[in-house]
Amino acid sequence: MTAVSPDARRIWAAARAPLLIGVVILFAAAVITLLRGTGEGGALDPRSFRPEGSHAVARLLEQNGVRVELTDDASAVDGATLFVTHPNLIAPDRLTELSRRAAATVLVAPAGGVGQVAQETREPGCALAAKAGAATSGGFVYQGEQQCYDSTLVRTGTVTAIGHGAIFTNGELDAEGNAALALSLLGQHERLVWYMPSVADRAQQKSLTDLVPDGWKFGALQLGVAAVLVALWRARRLGRVVPEPLPVVVRAAETVEGRARLYQRSRASTHAAAVLRQAARDRLSPVLGLPAGEDPSDEIARRTSRPVAQVRALLHSEEPVDDRGLVALASELDALENEVRKG
């Protein structure tokens, strides 16, 4: 048999090891995910036990008789305290509407700050938070009717803006008067709506995809299926690629070019000039009928009516030459050679 394509048994033999490895990896991933439990834990999440989470403050509020409702759409805010962890993810007009309906609103680091300060412990300096005393504050600085902690906590009407959410986190809650400040801000009413907006909330209106009829959507999906099939058709090669056994071949002039570049880099203009002079002498001697190695200067001077000293200087000088002089010398040697060949 001359067939070399793998049959079913060989395909199975070759594929079972990778398949087994794939199954083991999937199984391990599933087990690890299950053992680690719920991996939820964004910043200021009342379910999160991490340092940046806010389980502690939510628990304190509940012990103090405040009902904490975690939500991601905040539709029932009437008469409650609204706590928005990421106000910048909500459309501004919706935020205005929500805060108008809520009895009190606390926003963490909303847009509209007039500056920024470092996070540190500050004294309140206002009646609003006098009870809480010193607390961790920082982040954005705002302007409003009541300004506390160097303007990082500002209240205008029922809306309170705080420059940074540090006081609500598990990690910072027990420092200074953080807990007192947090409870006084969030525990203003019996009910607390803990609103954690996600990116999708920004665009509450119907998206473009909702407006497209189903026929188009599924048609496009089917088009994708067709594209995959066409790709499979084009991808299958008719036999393997045949490599070309290439012989060792290098450009013969490469070493000469390398030497030229070495001359140039080391600015060996005097040496190059000597080589060019020697070559000119070697070429001219046979033209004049002289044996190789004999100095052709006298004969050249006789034929071209140039002074002997000048010809000799051109062909024999050992004076150092600079780059500019080298280019000039090459042309002068050419001129001399032409004269001799003509004359």
Partner 1 sequence: MALTGRAGLLALIGVLVVGLLMPSWQGIFVMLGVVLLCVAVDLVLAAGVRRLTFTRAGATSVRTGELCTVQLTVHNPGRRLRGVLRDAWAPSAGVVADRVPLDVPAGGSRVLSFELRPVRRGDRTADRVTVRSLGPLGIAARQGSHQVPWTVRALPPFHSRRHLPALLERLRELDGRRASLIRGAGTEFDSLRTYVIGDDVRSIDWRASARSSDVVVRTWRPERDRQVTIVLDTSRTSAGRVDGVLGGLPRLDTSMDAALLLSALASQARDQVDFLAFSHKVRASVPRASLPVMVQAMAPLEAELVEFDARGAVSEVLRRASRRSLVVLLTSLEPSIEHGLLPLLPSLAARHRLLIASVSDPAVHAMASGRGDLESVYAAAAAERTLAERRRLTALLARHGVEVVDALPDELPRALADRYLSLKAAGKL
The residues that touch partner 1, with contacts defined as CB under 8 A, are 1-5, 7, 213-219, 221-223, 225-227, 229-230, 232-233, 236, 238-240, 242-245, 247-253, 255-257, 259-261, 263-264, 271-273, 275-276, 278-279, 282, 292, 323, 326-327, 330-331, 334
**DSSP run (H or E) holding 138:** strand 135-141
Q: Looking at beta carbons only, is 206 or 236 nearer to partner 1?
A: 236
Token pair in block for residue 107: 């926003």
CB of 303 to partner 1, least distance (A): 23
CA distance 285 to 292: 6
CB of 181 to partner 1, least distance (A): 53
CA distance 174 to 304: 106
Residues in contact with 198: Cβ distance below 8 Å, sequence separation at least 6, in sequence order: 72, 89
Q: Looking at beta carbons only, is 199 or 250 nearer to partner 1?
A: 250
CA angle 59, 64, 67 (to 5 degrees): 70
Residues in contact with 297: Cβ distance below 8 Å, sequence separation at least 6, in sequence order: 308, 311, 312, 315, 316
What backbone phi and psi angles, to 5 degrees, belong to 249? -135, 130
Strands 81-84 and 191-195 turn out to be: parallel
Identify whether the C-beta of residue 84 lies closer than 8 Å to the C-beta of residue 106.
yes
CB of 8 to partner 1, least distance (A): 11
CB of 330 to partner 1, least distance (A): 5
Q: Looking at beta carbons only, is 3 or 34 nearer to partner 1?
A: 3
CB of 143 to partner 1, least distance (A): 55
Residue 101 CA, chain-centre distance (Å), reads: 43
Q: Looking at beta carbons only, is 67 or 217 nearer to partner 1?
A: 217
CA distance 145 to 33: 49
Token pair in block for residue 240: 């393997």
CA distance 318 to 277: 10
Token pair in block for residue 146: 């009541």
CB of 28 to partner 1, least distance (A): 32
Q: Looking at beta carbons only, is 50 or 263 nearer to partner 1?
A: 263
Q: Looking at beta carbons only, is 36 or 251 nearer to partner 1?
A: 251
How would you class 107 by CB atoms within 10 Å of its CB: exposed for 0-12, middle for 13-18, buried for 19 or more?
A: buried
Q: Looking at beta carbons only, is 8 or 32 nearer to partner 1?
A: 8
CB of 335 to partner 1, least distance (A): 11
Return the residue matching tokens 């048994």: 9
Q: Looking at beta carbons only, is 103 or 268 nearer to partner 1?
A: 268
CB of 14 to partner 1, least distance (A): 16
